[in-house]
Each structure stands twice: as structure tokens, then as C-alpha cells.
Amino acid sequence: MKPPFGRRLILGAVAAIGAAAWAATISMPHREGRSSILDPLETAMVNLRMSTLGAIETPDDVVIIAIDDAMLATANPLAQGRQNLADLIDAIAAAGASVAAVDILLTDKGNSSGDRALAAALAKLPTVIAAAGSFAHDLTGQGVPVTQDALWPQSMFSDVSDVGMVNISTDHSGTPRHVPMVFMTSKGPQPSFAAQTAALFTGETLDVSTGALTLGHRIIPLDTGLQMPLRLAGPTGTVTTIPALNLLQGPAAVDLSGKAVVLGVTATALGDRFPTPFDPDLPGVEVMATAISQIVGGELLRRDDMIRHIDVIGAILLAMICIVVVLMLPLAIGIPLAAGALVLWIAAIWLAFGFGIWLSAALPLASAGPLLILAAMLRYTHERRRAARSDRAVTALKKFQSPALADRIAENPEFLLVPESRDLVVSFVDLTGFTQISQDLGPEETEAFLKKFHTFLEQTAEKRGGIVLNFMGDGALLMFGMFDQSSNPADKALQAALSIAQQTRALGEAEGFTHPMGCRIGLHWGSVILSRMGSDRQQQVTITGDSVNLCSRLLEIAKAERATIAATSDFIARISEPLPLPFDRQVTHPVRGRHGEVDLYVWRL
């Protein structure tokens, strides 16, 4: 039995509140931009989204000049003497670049001539050079990054160039995820390398004070700590990359007119390397170039305060929906609905990523997934227990009703709430000589004997599609044709009557009675009323009507005729098979309490 609706409503409300509390609790670190145990799952889900959506195009006005293995083998610009690096920057300026961003730390002094040459080269065009900081914690969720210490370029270089911090935020797997736009250093607020380069390239004023990066008319929403989510573009080479040696072949070798050039190291085992969904070993210079491209006009990836609020609200609502529908609706409906809601939200998250919106996939899975599993297990256990109770109830009911009748009531509790008129075979059975036998046996043995009699009576009827509607002391009321429509109920009823008569006699002989044991059986086919009798709390299925009264009187006629079976002509007319045993006599007999006479067929067995 289901609990009352009011109780179920309270249960659903309590479950919804609990689900909301659970989702809000696990959402707290995400809402505040802090690290959490969900980060590995989110990393996997973001990587999967990037992989399925594939690489993206980057603006062609950002170019990498790569100091690769070939360059190092020919003329190493990273050696202590910086003349080769100065030559590269001179070549970049000569090729028409608008801005040169040098992703190389120039913290140590070289020989004086090389340093002077490099400073002179840097002064020939707008340049940004790299600084780097060290931090007490990783850069995730710590607000604006604050450096513990920093590596600054030599003053002779910073005097002729702008300076930007090259540090980026990575997740637990080392994959770049954010680029901080501002750092707090011992020298005060310091812009990032990418932001400084973009501002110098566009000539626009850089503003990151409002929770977004504003560069002219371009507004880029920022995540916590004024960090820009990084939309990784693809594998190595996705950003246009030119080997540094190409520049040294002559002034016309490479055209960099109007380009923002990022000079950095891609040589094997040198410089920063990062794993990404597209490349297990992406050079750091390409990560930085991707960030610059994103700021100046590339595809954005938005994850800001509003997006995190949507994540939290979505996680809470999804958790509430999943647990309520599983607990309140039938299990076969609730689980598909809850799972469908979760799948639809994940699909929406996937679709949003394609439009540059980074919604958390880990948060809804962690908030709704465990609750969905838990609620499904609780409901399944509850349903199993309820089914077991129902089975026990049906088993108990079958001891008070015919098993076929009990099954029908269990399947349809409204069975016969409205009375039905049916044409059926009605049969009454009564033992003969039972009074004397019960005196001889005593109460306990009489009960045991009746149990044997009732058992074969029930088995014989059910075997032929009939049911025992009532046991009445040493007699019973049987019906045929109520449920079994596959055969002629009159044929089956006559076969059952002959078998019952034979088994009754055999039972008496087996018990060793000194008095003969027999029975009388009445058979009639006619219209009856099937209904439930009793109060709202206690009911029983019964049949009424003239056919029932007539059949009960046949036992008296059988006694008067010294017959075992008395069947009406209406019953005989329904017989479709040859009689298994010829009747002994056909009589016309008055019926007590009923007008007229009835044509009967009797068997004296």
C-alpha cells in the first residue's frame, strides 16, 4: 500500500531540501573558485569537450617565431652572449612586426656588447619582455595572484620595453586553464605578459578593475582572481609558427607586417611544456600566443561569476528534480525521467561549450548522480519489500479465497465492485453419512478428514478450470466458466463431479469407515449475479440468483432419488462431448420453494 499523499508530499519536500543542501555544500568550493575533489573529474570532462569539438582557428595577426632545434644547432640565441637574440629581434623589426613579445627571461647579465645590442634591438619596435613570479600556493582560487618572489629582467632591457608576467594557472594535471591578467608584486600591480602584449598591439588602454578585461571596445569576462579562462586552440602549430632561422635568411624572407610576434623556445627539452587535450607536450610559447590571440580577437571561453552561479543553481535544481521524481513517481518512470534530466543538462553543457561558455560538468554529475543512485536503490529496496508483502498478502488471501479469484483481486482490486451478471455452471457438493462419521471420529480427526476432502475437491475443480467459491462444513459451492474460457465449462463440471464422487468413495474406504461414505452433487447452468458482499472493511465474493437457489435444492432431489449426481436439463443441454458415463434416469421433479417442475438427469453411483 502506498503511503498517504500528504505523507508522500512531506517526504518529497524533505528529500528536496536535503538534496538542495547536499548540492549547495559540494558547490561551495566551485562557487568561490577554490580547488576541490571534483577538479579531476572536471578536468577530464573539459578535455573531452575540447577533443570532441576539435581545434579552433586563431587570428592570423599573432605569429610565433620559434627558437627550435635547428636554430640552437646553428646559432644559439640563448647563450650568454645575446648578440644572436638581438639579431632575431632586429630581423623581426625589419620584417615589419607591430609588436615583439619576448617569452624569454632576461634576468642575468650577459657580456656587455651582447646586452647593449639586445637593448638596442628591443628599442627599435614596441616590445614586451617576460618576468616570472613564484607563489606560496597554486594560482587557482587564491584571488589576484600575489608573488612571493619574482624574476625581473635586467633594467637595461626593461627601460626600453614593457614587462609582463608569464605565469599561467594549470589544473591538477598540469594543463593550462587560466591566464591571470594582473599580479600583485613587490613593485605593485603588474599586468600579465599576454594582456600587456595585447594592449601594446592594439594601442588600446587596458582595464581589468571591473571583473572583466576591457581593451577598447572588446570586453572579456574574467573568472575569480581576474583570471581569463584559456580556450586551448589545438596541437602544436595551431598558432602560425615560423622557424627563427627563416628570419635570418634576409629582409624579404618573412613578411610580418602588422603582426604581433611572440618570440619563444620550442626546442626539445627547453622551455615550459604543458599537456593539453590536443598535444601531450605543447610549448609554453604557444600557450602564451594562444592567450594573446584570445584577447585581441580570438574565440573566448567564458567562465565568470555569473556562469558559476548558473552552475550552482543548475546543480541544486537538478539534484532536487532527480531525487523527487525517483521518490515520488513509479520507479519505471522516475528513474528514466531523472536520468533524462541529467543527460539533457550535460548535453546543454556540451552545447554551451561550443559557444564559448564553460559550465561545469563535474558539479551536476556529483550533485545529482549519487542522489539518483541512492534514491533508486532506496526505491528499489522499498518496492521489493512492498512486493514481498503483497506476495505474502496474496498467498494469505489464497487461503481464504480460490487462488484464481485471489490472483484476479490482486491484479485488479476493483474486481466485482460493480456486480456482474454471468452465465455459469453452478455446482453444490455435500457428503452423505457425515453426521455418523463425525460422531465416530471426534473433533480433531473430523477436521483432518474434512481437510483431505476439501483438498481433493479443490484440486479436482481447479484442474478442470473451476473454482471452489465457498467451503460449507461437509459441503462446498463450486463454479465453472468464471475464468477459464478455453473449454466448455459444462463438460469440465460433469467430469469433475464424476471424479469427486469416485474420490469420496475411495477416501472413505481408505479411512476404514464402518459406514459407507458418499456424496451428492447438484449441477446447473444458468444466469447468476457475481458480486462482493459485506462492509467496506470486510467483504467476500459470492453469487446469488435463482440458478444458485435451484442448484442447492438439487441435493434434496438427489437424496430423494437415492442419486449421487443430479443435473438440470439446462446443464445437459450445454454438454458438447459424449457423456463420460450414461445417466441412470431422467425425471421431472418439483423443487421446494419454487414454482413448477424441473427436468433432471440423475446418476446413481
In the chain the domains, ranked by start, together with CATH numbers, are: 5-47+307-386 (no CATH), 58-296 (no CATH), 403-603 (3.30.70.1230)
CB atoms < 10 A from the CB of 522, how many? 26
In this prediction, residue 43 carries a pLDDT of 93
CA 328/CA 324 separation, integer angstroms: 6
**What's the grid cell of residue 368?**
545529482
In this prediction, residue 394 carries a pLDDT of 45
In tens, the pLDDT along 324-363 reads: 888 888 888 888 999 999 999 999 999 999 999 999 999 9
**What's the grid cell of residue 320?**
532536487
Of the candidates 219, 270, 224, the residue with the CA atom closest to the CA atom of residue 244: 270
In this prediction, residue 376 carries a pLDDT of 81
CB 55 within 8 A of CB 231: no
424: left (phi over 0), alpha (psi -120 to 50) or beta: beta
Strands (E), 118-229: 127-134, 149-151, 162-165, 169-170, 176-180, 182-185, 188-191, 206-207, 212-215, 218-221, 227-229
CB 242 within 8 A of CB 65: yes
CB 315 within 8 A of CB 363: yes
In this prediction, residue 397 carries a pLDDT of 42
In this prediction, residue 1 carries a pLDDT of 44
Question: HSE-up of 543 (CA within 13 Å, CB side)?
Answer: 27
In tens, the pLDDT along 217-272 reads: 899 999 998 999 999 999 999 999 999 998 888 766 789 999 999 999 998 878 78
CA 27/CA 34 separation, integer angstroms: 10
In tens, the pLDDT along 209-220 reads: 778 999 988 999
- Which residues in the chain land under pLDDT 70? 1-6, 79-80, 138-142, 251-252, 387-404, 406, 535-539
Q: Which residues have C-beta within 8 Å of that of residue 297, sequence separation ≥ 6?
A: 59, 61, 218
Of the candidates 351, 304, 300, the residue with the CA atom closest to the CA atom of residue 59: 300
pTM: 0.67
DSSP codes joined into one string, 490-533: HHHHHHHHHHHHHHHHHHHHHHT-SS--EEEEEEEEEEEEEEEE
